[in-house]
């Protein structure tokens, strides 16, 4: 209520009437009602000039004036106003004939005050027109803000579509071009005699932008080509299996989505199956292990093994291991880094090593980067290790 009253008091009012007595009466009535900004003009030309200068919120206009009458003023105001502007004009006249009223309305008048003036009617009609103008302005501002927001949203959507198209094009190029992706292999060795028991295949990308493989695979998943890119990496790794010594296994990284897609099922009948280890990442939450087991178990029946990757670093670690029953558990590098001087890491690593032995699974401690870490893990009973201290990822020798 206070804001509405203050808005009324601060409204800019312009009175245009050649009769000075009428002007004085109207000004007196409006000031008593609380209006503070009232301008007046006794001729049409002066009134139009003031209208351009002060930008009034309402105009009280006499229709019958010498030289330039109120109709001409209405025409000039209409010509100078924009489609988005709403300027209420309250016509002052003693002529209430149908022709006069219709003509004024056609030229843009919003309301009428008949002479002689009634004090209450003057204030109420001015107040109503000011409130209408405020509501119109508020609605217009709201519509402008809404239009701006819709335009911004459209721009964001268009930008997102362009970016998605660019991501899709990048992934499709990698899938189509042989040279866009290559494979390197990191050795997994037996602690006891330092013999190589297996290698992990890791994808490397030559295309721009230069970035880590996980970002490439993440982008592929975002555009719906995640399993296709994973399969390209699996096939590229298997294509080099003949270059590995007999008895050395090949570990390939696969997501639950790839396993459940059925794209790996054909490998059950492939002679390479007994040499494969499928590393299932533990960083993706799995709600139902049934579909994974449905596809992975036939591969295991033909000699393949399952490894739980990143054990101890992802979703529901022990539940993941218990429900998948892997042949291999990979101790995450967040536990191996600093295991030689961090009692908490050492305790967790020791627990997982013991757990693996108890369920008959092999354990690979990955991310081993120092001799001290290797010595500590060996003392804890780890048999297989992997990491930069052992061997860096590299292409297989010719």
Considering the entire predicted model, what is its pTM? 0.68
What would the two tokens of residue 65 be?
């004036």
Average pLDDT, the chain: 90
**Hey, which residues does 14 pair with through a beta bridge?**
39, 59
Residues 130-139: tens digit of each pLDDT: 898 888 888 8
Rounded mean pLDDT, 147-151: 92
Q: For residue 383, what pLDDT band results from cuts at 50, 70 and 90?
A: very high
Q: What is the 3-state secondary structure (H, E, C) of 120-175?
A: HHHHHHHHHHHHHHHHHHHHHHHHHHHHHHHHHHHHHHHHHHHHHHHHHHHHHHHH
Residues 99-130: tens digit of each pLDDT: 888 898 898 889 888 888 888 998 999 999 98
What confidence score (pLDDT) does residue 149 get?
Answer: 92
Q: Which of 375, 379, 376, 374 is nearest to 390 (CA)?
A: 374
Report the CATH fold assignment for 2-144.
Answer: Rossmann fold (3.40.50)
Q: In angstroms, how far is CA 94 from the centroid of its own chain?
A: 63
User: CB of 393 within 8 A of CB of 202?
Assistant: yes
Distance CA 126, CA 117 (A): 13
Chosen CATH of 177-385 out of 3.40.50.150, 3.20.20.450, 3.30.1370.60, 3.30.1360.30: 3.20.20.450
Burial of 373 (0-12, 13-18, 19+ CB in 10 A): buried
Lowest mean pLDDT, pick from 59-63, 80-84, 257-261, 345-349? 80-84
What confidence score (pLDDT) does residue 364 get?
Answer: 95
Every domain of the chain with CATH number 3.20.20.450 lies at 177-385
Every domain of the chain with CATH number 3.40.50.2300 lies at 2-144
Rounded mean pLDDT, 149-165: 93
């Amino acid at each position: 209520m206070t804001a509405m009253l203050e808005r009324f008091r601060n409204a800019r009012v312009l009175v245009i009437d050649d009769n000075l007595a009428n002007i004085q009466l109207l000004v007196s009535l409006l000031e008593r009602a609380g209006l503070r900004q009232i301008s007046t003009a006794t001729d049409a030309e002066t009134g139009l000039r003031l209208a351009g200068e002060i930008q009034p919120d309402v105009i009280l206009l006499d229709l019958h004036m010498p030289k330039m009458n109120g109709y001409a003023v209405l025409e000039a105001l209409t010509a100078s106003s924009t489609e988005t502007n709403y300027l209420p004009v309250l016509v002052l006249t003693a002529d209430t004939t149908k022709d006069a009223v219709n003509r004024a309305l056609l030229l843009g008048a919003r309301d009428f005050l008949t002479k002689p003036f009634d004090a209450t009617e003057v204030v109420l009609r001015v107040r109503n027109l000011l409130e209408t103008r405020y509501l119109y302005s508020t609605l217009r501002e709201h519509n402008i803000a809404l239009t701006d927001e819709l335009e911004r949203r459209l721009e964001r959507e268009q930008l997102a579509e362009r970016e998605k198209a660019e991501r899709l094009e990048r992934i499709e190029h990698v899938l189509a071009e042989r040279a866009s992706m290559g494979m390197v292999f990191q050795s997994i060795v037996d602690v006891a005699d330092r013999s190589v028991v297996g290698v992990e295949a890791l994808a490397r990308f030559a295309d721009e932008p230069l970035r880590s493989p996980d970002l490439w695979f993440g982008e592929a998943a975002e555009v719906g080509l995640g399993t296709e890119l994973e399969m390209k990496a699996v096939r590229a790794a298997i294509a080099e299996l003949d270059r590995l010594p007999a008895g050395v296994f090949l570990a390939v990284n696969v997501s639950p989505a790839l396993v459940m897609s059925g794209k790996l099922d054909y490998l059950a009948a492939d002679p390479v199956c007994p040499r494969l280890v499928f590393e299932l990442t533990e960083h993706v939450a799995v709600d139902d292990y049934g579909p994974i087991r449905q596809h992975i178990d036939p591969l295991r029946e033909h000699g393949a093994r399952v490894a739980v990757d990143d054990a101890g670093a992802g979703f529901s670690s022990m539940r993941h291991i218990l429900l998948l029953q892997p042949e291999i558990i990979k101790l995450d590098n967040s536990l191996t880094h600093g295991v030689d001087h961090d009692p908490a890491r050492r305790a967790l690593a020791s627990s997982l090593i013991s757990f693996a032995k108890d369920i008959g699974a092999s354990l690979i401690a990955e991310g081993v980067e120092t001799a001290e870490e290797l010595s500590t893990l060996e003392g804890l009973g780890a048999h297989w290790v992997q990491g930069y201290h052992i061997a860096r990822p590299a292409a297989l020798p010719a």
